[in-house]
Chains A and B, each alone.
Chain A
């Protein structure tokens, strides 16, 4: 599945990659991307599919419910339409006070898919 190199990757080649890319072992786009990543994060582990990676997928823990509510409050302030909790979120940096916690939802909001004519066709 060899493909021609992109223009930027050549500069980041490390010593063990072969020099004559047009001949025997051209670097695939995937390998070029891998070199880019390793250049940015040299401490990145060798085995991405290994247990550390999977363990992170399986559990996202909090110290206790106060910690959880603080994390939720932080996320609300970020206003990202992201798909999940921030992986780099730090919790437990200070003891929560009632003002820090998000307000409890007073009533359940109907989905916008079901309500109103605005935007509906």
Chain B
């Protein structure tokens, strides 16, 4: 539906006027592989923003409280905590490497002063607790101020230790390690609305866990065929419904989505709903199946819709209609005539994610050349923006970008052949309530805010 046309007006869809806010990460030309950001996620309040990278590290940013004495800081995100979540391993039994790359981070809803998140690599999920310490006890009886033990026989008086304030320290500790449940590579984790369970999905199986129990998980989907030669599709993403704790969906490499109800049976190999858009057989090609593979699936906040991302488009599905999506947005249709080279350089296998804004009125997804796209579902306007150092002046408004598909290239347009396919925006996140977005461009994290915000 929406084409490559730029949005109306100055800023883009729905009168958003996106401005540069911050950029994190080094400027070097030589990007170390470990620094490539592999996941970005806001927590439920939007006050915390977590990133995971290929080096297995997690960095959490916290939004500063708005402050009269520093009016320009306007809720900036600064480093709150950082830790090494996963380390590289070698599976000696199978002679396979296990990368430390963080595939996904999902926050748990906050229940007390501490924050909890789940982070996963290909094989192991970990529950991390991030807590603050701003007080320290002083005046121990058995220890000196510098920690040395005192000789108990020389102590003649008793005193009560008192709590004294100290510089804020944020500590991250692994509270649970959920291991050895996945033979294949984990692509998704999703926390259930019951706040007690979560699912993890790999290429062929989905497991259900209880957050307190690490030595057991229930297999709820298994699509592994008895004979691997008969394998025709893999699971690409999975997510729990935001309100119905018995419902989850999973997408496949063939472009289909299955909705499952855990009340109907213990093993959800039979779906309750099957979503697939009918294909026009005359347009079928060698690439059809590859580009139909769904790389991400996300429920809307309302729980009434879900969105899927395949190589060239984003589709919005109404859960009550299985035979076709209700909305289709073209992300970069001009790549359809470049599929041969995109297959040769493996870009055709890139897995782009997508996200909803807080009110489900807009959706966002990434593209190449550090471009990302936003679609307004109400006005049907769309805009292409760029995450670049050149447009990174404080509060500078982002200019809509346009890709020229043929014929004469206008002044500010970029031609398809000039796009940099190494600059991919695979991961983006939208603040749950406000118009603040986080965009991961390789090793840099950009934060943009809406001016009116």
- How many chain B residues sit at the interface, stated as a range, is 35 or more
Distance, CA A83 to CA B442, complexed state (A): 10
Distance, CA A116 to CA B343, complexed state (A): 38
Q: Would B22 and A37 count as touching, CB distance under 8 A?
A: no
Interface string of A29-68 (1 = CB under 8 A from B): 1111110111010001000111100110111111111011
Distance, CA A111 to CA B39, complexed state (A): 14
Distance, CA A112 to CA B55, complexed state (A): 11
Stretch from B8-16, B228-236, B240-248 forming part of the interface with A: B228-236
Q: Would B280 and A57 count as touching, CB distance under 8 A?
A: no
The yes or no answer to B422 lying at the interface (CB within 8 A) is yes
Partner of A28, one of B203, B285, B340, B394: B285
Query: How close is A91's CB to chain B, nearest CB, in angstroms?
Result: 10
Query: How close is B27's CB to chain A, nearest CB, in angstroms?
Result: 4
Given contacts A51-B230, A81-B36, A113-B24, whether A33 and B337 have CB atoms under 8 Å apart is: yes
The yes or no answer to B429 lying at the interface (CB within 8 A) is no
Partner of B231, one of A54, A82, A120: A54
Q: Would B55 and A109 count as touching, CB distance under 8 A?
A: yes
The yes or no answer to A96 lying at the interface (CB within 8 A) is no
Q: Would A34 and B287 count as touching, CB distance under 8 A?
A: yes
Q: Would B53 and A111 count as touching, CB distance under 8 A?
A: yes
Interface string of A7-29 (1 = CB under 8 A from B): 00000000000000000010011
Query: How close is A88's CB to chain B, nearest CB, in angstroms?
Result: 11
Given contacts A37-B286, A51-B231, whether A61 and B59 have CB atoms under 8 Å apart is: no
Distance, CA A117 to CA B204, complexed state (A): 43
Given contacts A54-B253, A119-B26, whether A1 and B234 have CB atoms under 8 Å apart is: no
Chain B residues engaging chain A, CB cutoff 8 angstroms: 22-27, 30-31, 33-37, 51, 53, 55, 57, 59, 79, 82, 84, 90, 92, 94-97, 184-185, 203-204, 228-234, 253-254, 280, 282-283, 285-290, 336-340, 343-344, 346, 350, 392, 394, 422, 442-445
- List the 6 shortest-distance A-B pairs measured between CB atoms, nearest first: A49-B289, A29-B337, A114-B82, A33-B339, A30-B285, A119-B27
30 A-B residue pairs with Cβ-Cβ distance under 8 Å, sorted by A, are A33-B336, A33-B337, A36-B340, A37-B339, A38-B286, A40-B340, A44-B286, A48-B287, A48-B289, A49-B253, A49-B289, A51-B232, A54-B232, A54-B233, A58-B204, A61-B94, A62-B95, A62-B96, A63-B95, A65-B92, A68-B90, A72-B97, A79-B30, A82-B33, A111-B35, A111-B55, A114-B59, A119-B444, A120-B25, A121-B23
